[in-house]
Amino acid sequence: MRLEPGLALRIYFPTQSLSTRFMLTISLRSIVWLLWIKLMEIIKTDSLVKDYDLGKIKVRALDGVDIVIESGEFVAIMGPSGSGKSTLMHIIGCLDSPSEGEYYLDGLLVSQMERRKLAAVRNAKIGFVFQSFNLLPHLNVLKNVELPLMYAGMGSKERNRQARNILDSVGLSDRLRHKPSELSGGQRQRVAIARAIVNSPSILLADEPTGNLDSTSGGDILEIFGQLHRQGNTVIIVTHDPNVAERADRIIQIYDGKISDGDILG
């Protein structure tokens, strides 16, 4: 059933004059609208600074980074080597904290959070894929993918079932008992993606995930990220690859630790 706007106003604000009702409705709408925008902002940074202290010299890797990324966006981060891309991704991914500035993840201020709490937030919300895969060499494929579920306290049967399902979805159900060294680069990266998404994080971060792969394997990996994005996840990829950037909703450019003004809309 649809309420006529005039009738709805009289039900909401029976005693006020028409102009007061009008003002109240406008204010209510603005509040709902602002709340909605806030809810959509899954990642928001305010003047992020990261300094690396190397004794006598200090490297300023991030120099006042302000970014807002909305839930469900597919963003590519691009910039020259040494411009601060990995540093930014590590902070966004709760693997590191900024020296100054604020970082809100899903409305939660995480920039000054202590390490254990930060790790818990990371485990619940974020999947991270590295250029060099970062798999544990002594564990087989299945065990590598089960790890985040083990940290989350899941029992072994359910863990096993969930890891198999995810590995199936990235086309690796015939490699469960292989060690990482017995796989190709593309397969290793698919294991790393399976590990990153096995506990259903809503944010997927990848730091040059196709950098060490041939173009065919890189294409397969991109297809998986595309699928995750279509399922409603937020995907952020650091890349030099124009094919990745082409698929993104938006490109964020970074130079010398600063976001360039020309944020390009894809």
Ligand X SMILES: Nc1ncnc2c1ncn2[C@@H]1O[C@H](COP(=O)(O)OP(=O)(O)O)[C@@H](O)[C@H]1O
Which spans of this chain sit near ligand X (rule: CB under 6 A)?
Answer: 52, 54, 59, 61, 79, 81-87
Task: Centre a 10 Å sphere on the Cβ of residue 117 and count the other Cβ atoms it contains.
Answer: 12
Nearer to ligand X among residue 47 and residue 231 (C-beta): 47
Alpha helices in 106-214 (DSSP H): 115-125, 141-151, 156-169, 185-197
Task: Centre a 10 Å sphere on the Cβ of residue 50 and count the other Cβ atoms it contains.
Answer: 22
φ/ψ (deg, to 5) at 245: -60, -35
Distance of CA 236 to the CA centre of its chain: 5
Q: How far is the CB of 207 from Mg ion (least distance, A)?
A: 6
Q: Which two tokens stand for residue 245?
A: 């950037």
Proportion of the chain in helix, strand, coil states, percent, rounded to 5: 40, 25, 35
Residues 72-91, mask of contacts with Mg ion (x by CB under 5 A): -------------xx-----
Q: How far is the CB of 158 from Mg ion (least distance, A)?
A: 35
Residue with tokens 């094919």: 243
210 binds Mg ion (CB under 5 A): no
Nearer to ligand X among residue 59 and residue 108 (C-beta): 59
Q: Contacts with Mg ion: how many residues (CB under 5 A)?
A: 2
Q: How far is the CB of 209 from Mg ion (least distance, A)?
A: 12
Nearer to ligand X among residue 85 and residue 122 (C-beta): 85
| Contact partner, 17, from Mg ion, ligand X, none, Cβ < 5-8 Å per class | none
Residues that bind Mg ion (CB under 5 A): 85-86
